Amino acid sequence: MKKNAKIYLLKDRPDYIKKLSDDDIINVIGTKGSGKTTSANKYIYNDDYIVINCDRLYDMPTDSKIEDEFLPKVKELLIKKYGKVYTGKDFSICYDEIINFAKKNKKKLIIEGNVIYDIEPITKLKGTVIVKRTGVLKCFLRAIFRDYPTSYFLKLEIEKHGPIIGRISRLKNIIKRRKSIFKEYHRIEKDIEELESNA
């Protein structure tokens, strides 16, 4: 990492934007709580776009209600073809399928989610990459306040420990899990360096 690359705790920096190809694809990446979904969801009711929140391709309990109408179709296509939605480096297989799906439907594509930057090298992405560079502490706090009240997990903790200890246990677990945001921040900075070196 460059010497002048430092952790921005509260200060937001401008989004890093890099065009990799002429495809009508916008890849939104960033740490949890950086505003990826908020940015992508601005297009969710625009008929010219398909918006794929990659986190919602997996069977994860969530209280979120906003979903692109094409997302269940994409998920069904991936499971029918591969038996599952790939994670890690293998997500590149799903990524190519999602792109083909958008092209067949003659739509522009906005794709976001942490699994995107599991694709290596990141320069394999198509279209334009937007990296959200929200202050890392801000991301951390946002992610905790967003994820802590998820009813599925909170209910499990309360059933296990009771109403007071259950809530404390949930908070402790979510803080522990969300510490990974600080590692993700450095990973995002390395991805930017890789994108810059591909100029």
Task: Return the pLDDT at 50.
Answer: 95
Structure-token pair, residue 50: 């398909």
Reading across the β-sheet that carries 49-53, which strands appear in turn?
Answer: 16-19, 128-131, 25-29, 108-112, 49-53
Q: pTM for the whole thing?
A: 0.87
Please give the Cα distance from 58 to 75 (Å, whole number).
8
One-letter amino acid identity for 168?
A: I
Q: In terms of Cα–Cα distance, which of 139, 133, 140, 147 is closest to 189? A: 133
User: How far is C-alpha 135 from the geometric centre of its chain's CA atoms?
Assistant: 16
Please give the Cα distance from 79 to 86 (Å, whole number).
9
CB 36 within 8 A of CB 113: yes
Task: Return the pLDDT at 176.
Answer: 92
Task: Return the pLDDT at 93.
Answer: 94
Segments of the chain with pLDDT less than 70: 1-7, 199
CB 98 within 8 A of CB 111: yes
Task: Return the pLDDT at 191.
Answer: 84
Q: At 25, which helix (H) or strand (E)?
A: strand 25-29
Task: Return the pLDDT at 199.
Answer: 61
Q: At 129, which helix (H) or strand (E)?
A: strand 128-131
Task: Return the pLDDT at 7.
Answer: 60
